Chain A
Amino acid sequence: MTDSLERFLEDLRFDVPTGLVDRAKAAAVKAPVREPSELGQTSRGLDMTRQLPRNPRADGDWPMGRRTELLAGIAAVVLALIVIGTFAYIRAVATPKPAVPALPNLTIKQYQTLIASDQGTTTNNFLNDQCDVNPPESAACADEAAAAIVRLQQYLSDLGQSRPPARFAAIDGRLRHHLGLVMADLRAVIAASKTGDASGAATALTAAVNERDTLSRESSAIIFSSQETPLGYVGIVSTGSSNLLACDLCQKLVSQTPVPCQSTQGPGCADGVAATTLQVETFLDSLVRGFAPDSLAAKGQRLQTDLEAADGALDAMSSGSGNDQIMRRTGLELRQALSLVIRDATDISRGG
């Protein structure tokens, strides 16, 4: 007899996470079971080479005359030139694309381990916390910055060796972006130190340390990512939403009329974009650290998608300053995305 519990268990449905099937397919393709037919082809190739018809006259038991030898030599050279020419022509015409090796798909735990390892060598060991931009110590600081760049480059390279699990795809992109920014800041520290520009080096160092903090937050969100209880998740969403609403610069940015950050609106726009980006990305990171329970997974995904849209618009705004057309479009996109974020958050807080 089937009771209510059995019926409930039978009717339970879980949405297969986005990308899970694709990752499994890609991993299966990457290391397929070797087929006998593949081996057979290889063997056949070798056999054919072995069975190439041979000229019985070349065995030495039928020596050639001088004239025959000369003709054979010329024929061989002509044949070789034809072969080389054909090969060169085919290469030039076909221009084969370089083989791109398939990247391995990491599981969640493998990816977390990778991030934990690289965080230990980079952000936890950033400039050894000793960097004086004033001469004569500035030279040592520049050396430290150069060493830090090597470690950060390794972090970036490690991320490029594999594909992240779907759950971390978005934060993986942000992580790479910020790795690029912190390396650029450190290069600015080195450049300013070389020219004796202590003020420029200090500004660049401050920017680098800020980016380091962002990297730490993102790395920690990945390493400690775990599923929240419904109550805990509602708390995370409420906090993120409240912080966004309480951010004056963010409010100012999105309440500008007609649209934010057009060329007439001055340098304050950059601060607004930076503040809003910080709030949006902190919110996104908190949703990675404590991801939605199954009962709120669909709503959580919607919130995350809208936050990512806002982050994308902010990114376009920070790189498109001076171009009013881009600003108008991305400003509207930001406004729309943030209003959806607040709606999603309210929906989760009420229904969770």
Chain B
Amino acid sequence: MENASTGLLVDDRDGIARTAPLTADALCQTYAGRVFKFAQLVSTDSTDAEDLAQDALERALRGLNSFNPARGEIEGWLWRIVVNAGRDAGRIASRQRLVVELLADRWAVDEKILDVGDQLRTSEVLAAVRELSSRHRAVIALRYGGDLSYRQVGQALGISEAAALMATRRALANLRARLSHEVHPQ
């Protein structure tokens, strides 16, 4: 498991905490799955997702030597790299556009929430996520793909924790509405 405060990987399966420097293998082993899930959710198709995940991991590995645990947590460092890779690939809107979309969100009418229950399928959810706006895809991908807290989502996108929370709720409402429409067609 990873110790977020030091940025070092800690193996405490046997109850004895040990620290080890963050190696390329350890980085990939710990984060490749989350980075790929993030890429799947933020990209519009699986080909782009694969390219984005590869690019993000490559950037992180390249910059691994420059990571300094004393200057901050590895989560923040890694997800800044991943988000930048997403921005460069055009999968995440620029910060300026995010602010505009944030304002648009504030005046958006709440979607009617319907229960989608247990009828969800991976392919349908993925397709519905990919139909969301880039802003909504980004928050969903970071929150549920990257498994980040709202504070970390906000940090990664350059918005406040409250704005990240609000954007995620809006994105979920939007996603739920799309899925409800598929599950309960009119």
Q: How many residues belonging to B are interface residues under a CB distance threshold of 8 Å?
A: 43
Task: Confirm or deny: B53 has a beta carbon within 8 angstroms of a beta carbon on chain A.
Answer: yes
Q: How many residues belonging to A are interface residues under a CB distance threshold of 8 Å?
A: 37
Task: Confirm or deny: B12 has a beta carbon within 8 angstroms of a beta carbon on chain A.
Answer: no
Measured between beta carbons, the chain A residues less than 8 angstroms from B47 are 108-109, 225-227
A12 and B144 in contact (CB under 8 A), knowing A20-B57, A25-B28, A107-B54? yes
A82 CB to nearest chain B CB (Å): 42
Task: Confirm or deny: A31 has a beta carbon within 8 angstroms of a beta carbon on chain B.
Answer: yes
CB contact between B66 and one of A12, A24, A33, A165 (< 8 Å): that residue: A33
Which residues of A27-65 are within 8 A (CB) of B? 27-29, 31-33, 35
Which residues of A215-234 are within 8 A (CB) of B? 225-227, 229-230
Query: Digit string of B138-167 for contact with A (CB within 8 Å is 1, else 0)?
Result: 001001110100000000000000000000
Which residues of A130-167 are within 8 A (CB) of B? 165, 167
Query: Digit string of A12-24 for contact with B (CB within 8 Å is 1, else 0)?
Result: 1110110011011
B116's nearest neighbour on chain A, judged by CB, is: A5
A229's nearest neighbour on chain B, judged by CB, is: B123
Looking at chain B's contact residues, is the secondary structure mostly helix, strand, loop, or mixed?
Answer: helix
B20 CB to nearest chain A CB (Å): 18
A21 and B144 in contact (CB under 8 A), knowing A35-B65, A107-B51, A295-B121? no
A4 to B118, CA, bound (A): 7
A14 to B36, CA, bound (A): 7
Looking at chain A's contact residues, is the secondary structure mostly helix, strand, loop, or mixed?
Answer: helix
Task: Confirm or deny: A99 has a beta carbon within 8 angstroms of a beta carbon on chain B.
Answer: no
Measured between beta carbons, the chain A residues less than 8 angstroms from B11 are none
A5 and B33 in contact (CB under 8 A), knowing A24-B57, A24-B61, A227-B47? no
Measured between beta carbons, the chain B residues less than 8 angstroms from A28 are 24, 57-59, 61-62
A82 to B88, CA, bound (A): 58
B58 near A33: Cβ-Cβ < 8 Å: no
Task: Confirm or deny: B82 has a beta carbon within 8 angstroms of a beta carbon on chain A.
Answer: no
A9 to B122, CA, bound (A): 9
CB contact between B54 and one of A5, A27, A29 (< 8 Å): that residue: A27
B54 near A23: Cβ-Cβ < 8 Å: yes
B125 near A293: Cβ-Cβ < 8 Å: no
A32 near B54: Cβ-Cβ < 8 Å: no
Which residues of B24-44 are within 8 A (CB) of A? 24, 28, 32-33, 36-37, 40-41
Task: Confirm or deny: A6 has a beta carbon within 8 angstroms of a beta carbon on chain B.
Answer: yes
Task: Confirm or deny: B63 has a beta carbon within 8 angstroms of a beta carbon on chain A.
Answer: yes
A295 near B45: Cβ-Cβ < 8 Å: no
B65 near A20: Cβ-Cβ < 8 Å: no
Which residues of B45-75 are within 8 A (CB) of A? 45-47, 50-51, 53-55, 57-59, 61-63, 65-66
Contacts A10-B144, A107-B50 known; 20 new A-B pairs at CB < 8 A: A4-B118, A5-B116, A5-B175, A6-B144, A12-B41, A12-B144, A14-B36, A14-B40, A21-B28, A24-B55, A27-B54, A28-B58, A31-B62, A32-B65, A33-B65, A109-B47, A226-B47, A229-B123, A294-B40, A295-B122
Q: List 12 A-B contacts (CB under 8 A).
A: A5-B175, A5-B176, A8-B125, A12-B41, A12-B145, A14-B36, A21-B32, A28-B57, A32-B62, A105-B54, A226-B45, A294-B126
Q: Which residues of B contact A (CB under 8 A)?
A: 24, 28, 32-33, 36-37, 40-41, 45-47, 50-51, 53-55, 57-59, 61-63, 65-66, 115-118, 120-123, 125-126, 140, 143-145, 147, 172, 175-176, 179
